[in-house]
Structure 1
Amino acid sequence: MNIALVVGLCVILLGLIVGYNIMAQQRQRVESSKRQEMAKYIAVIDATEELIGNAHNLPYSGTLLVCLNQKILDALKTMHDIDKTDRSLPQRISDVQAQINQIKQTYQNKESTSFRVPDSDREAISMLKLVKRLRAVIKAEHTKGRLPTQAFVSENSRLEQMQMKINIENVLKRVNDAKIKGQMGTAQQLLKKALDVVSSKSDPYCQSAKESLSAMLEEVNTSLSKGHEANRPKNDENKELDELFAPKKKW
């Protein structure tokens, strides 16, 4: 009788141990999944804050700033739903919401900064990459239904024109530098490539740029016809041109 009792107790104890281990493993899986989800949204917030931090480098519209901050707000709210124990999240949510409200009041028909011509090809490429990231964000937010269609179309068009302006203004700077150095061949190739790009556009900026570029090209051609040496661009210059004027992805 005592042996049977001991065996029974051992079986019960073993069952409790197994059950406890199963529950512990389940809790670990849940916690691991929660940490992974939290890490994903933290990465989203960090990347978006980095984009917002570049608002002094490029003209950001109020629509774009609201979109970026709303993306952070949505991530924070999701994190709060995942982990109710984090007491810092409610305050952060409140702060971001207040920031969004302030942007809506401050940036009506106003941009974060004025457009600045890039100082070098490297800076121009960096600016173009930033614009590309911004266009990817607004496209994703529009797809998720967080950005109205009209706002998306308007902002996407504004960013596309900014890409064009970065390219053209950088070309104008390079052309002037080449002319100062007497590199008329380089200036000619730059102008021809820029004209190929703006000729297919009909917006006011491109039409104005087309006139300026055409006049500059005529001046360069005249100089070359008078016997100025046409210096061919080096391979690295051609590579930079190809990167600057690579076909942009249509959103």
Structure 2
Amino acid sequence: MNIALLVGLIGLLFALIIGYNIIVQYRGRIESAKKQETAKYNAIIETTEELIGNAHQFPFSKELLLCLNQRILDALRAISDLVPNNKSYEQRMINMQSQFDQLQNNYAGGDSTSFKSPTNDQQAINMLKLVKRLREILRAEHKKGRVNTQVFVTENARLETFQIRINIENVIKRSKDAISRGQSGTAKQLLKKGIDALTVKNDSYSNKARTHLESMLDELNNKSKKERDDAITEEEKDDEIDVLFQPKKKW
């Protein structure tokens, strides 16, 4: 066999092997990228479903529920485009669209539930984390153009009010607990922090809450003043008794 032909065939074989490996690696990178993107969208779906699961514990408006459901629907569409052969995502997308339409057309209005004040610090922390996550998602969806500006402004302000309310209601509870334990100094510090936090707020809840906190603080201050006055009066009585019963001088 001609040596040049043999060398050429060997070179061609190597070229085919290298080309095949490049194609395999390229396809591998594409599949890896698809898996990463799918995992990202699945995480979005899971976390959003988790948030919606709190709708019976915390007041969700129709607009907020629509925003969250739309987020899930968009994530399902993205996955369906990435893995068109997976019919399970297509069916989930159909079900989600039906749920979204039902919510949009037949929602009774108002919040999903009434606001419930936190009963302890841990519950307050969990509620604050929930509000923070909801505000972050609302902001992200607005930046993507999926939530119009008017809805964003209204819902963001509403969630901010809940954030303040959770903090203040927890301050009131902790103050009352401190008072019942006789820790008036701790209660005063908590009340002052609450009042300071509400100083820059001018909504209906904040104004009422500030008045309530100030009333509690005034009551504590008056009680402390009375206790001091009573202590002084008692001390003066003791002094008078000491004068009456002190040894008489002999002249």
With the shorter chain as reference, the TM-score category is: 0.7 to 0.9
Q: Which moved more, 1:154-163 or 1:8-17?
A: 8-17
Query: Across the two proteins, how many residue pairs are aligned to each other?
Result: 228
Deviation, structure 1 residue 8: 4.5
Structure 1: gaps (5+ residues) = 229-251
What residue is the counterpart of 1:249 in the other structure? none
Q: Does 1:58 align with 2:58?
A: yes
Equivalent residue letter for 2:172: L
* C-alpha separation in 2, matches of 1:133 and 1:7: 65
Q: Which moved more, 1:132-141 or 1:184-193?
A: 184-193
* C-alpha separation in 2, matches of 1:193 and 1:6: 88
Equivalent residue letter for 2:147: L
Q: Does 1:48 align with 2:26?
A: no
Q: Could you give the per-residue CA deviations for residues 26-79 of structure 1, whole angstroms, max 9, x where no partner exists? A: 111111111111111111112212211222221111111110111111111111
Structure 2: gaps (5+ residues) = 229-251
* C-alpha separation in 1, matches of 2:210 and 2:30: 60
What residue is the counterpart of 2:234 in the other structure? none
Q: Which moved more, 1:112-121 or 1:178-187?
A: 178-187
* C-alpha separation in 2, matches of 1:133 and 1:184: 35
* C-alpha separation in 2, matches of 1:214 and 1:101: 47
What residue is the counterpart of 1:154 in the other structure? 154
SS at match of 2:227: coil
SS at match of 1:38: helix
Q: Tell me the C-alpha RMSD between the 2 structures.
A: 1.8
Q: Does 1:139 align with 2:139?
A: yes
What residue is the counterpart of 1:211 in the other structure? 211
* C-alpha separation in 2, matches of 1:10 and 1:97: 57
Q: Could you give the per-residue CA deviations for residues 117-162 of structure 1, whole angstroms, max 9, x where no partner exists? A: 1011121122111111111110010011000000000000100000
Equivalent residue letter for 1:147: V
What residue is the counterpart of 2:129 in the other structure? 129
* C-alpha separation in 2, matches of 1:107 and 1:195: 38
Equivalent residue letter for 2:60: Y
Deviation, structure 1 residue 219: 0.8
SS at match of 2:113: coil
* C-alpha separation in 2, matches of 1:224 and 1:105: 58
Aligned pairs (5 A) from 1:76-225: 76-225=76-225
Aligned pairs (5 A) from 1:65-80: 65-80=65-80
Deviation, structure 1 residue 13: 3.1
Deviation, structure 1 residue 99: 1.4
Deviation, structure 1 residue 107: 3.4
8 Å CA contact 1:61, 1:107 repeated in 2: no
* C-alpha separation in 2, matches of 1:107 and 1:165: 26
SS at match of 1:226: helix
SS at match of 1:227: helix
Q: Could you give the per-residue CA deviations for residues 4-35 of structure 1, whole angstroms, max 9, x where no partner exists? A: 65554444333332222221121111111111
Q: Which moved more, 1:151-160 or 1:114-123?
A: 114-123
SS at match of 2:117: coil
Q: Could you give the per-residue CA deviations for residues 184-203 of structure 1, whole angstroms, max 9, x where no partner exists? A: 11221111111112232111
Bigger RCO (CA 8 Å, 6+ sep):
1
After TM superposition, the score normalised by the length of structure 1 is 0.84
* C-alpha separation in 1, matches of 2:11 and 2:189: 87
SS at match of 1:118: coil
8 Å CA contact 1:142, 1:149 repeated in 2: yes
Equivalent residue letter for 2:86: D
What residue is the counterpart of 2:232 in the other structure? none
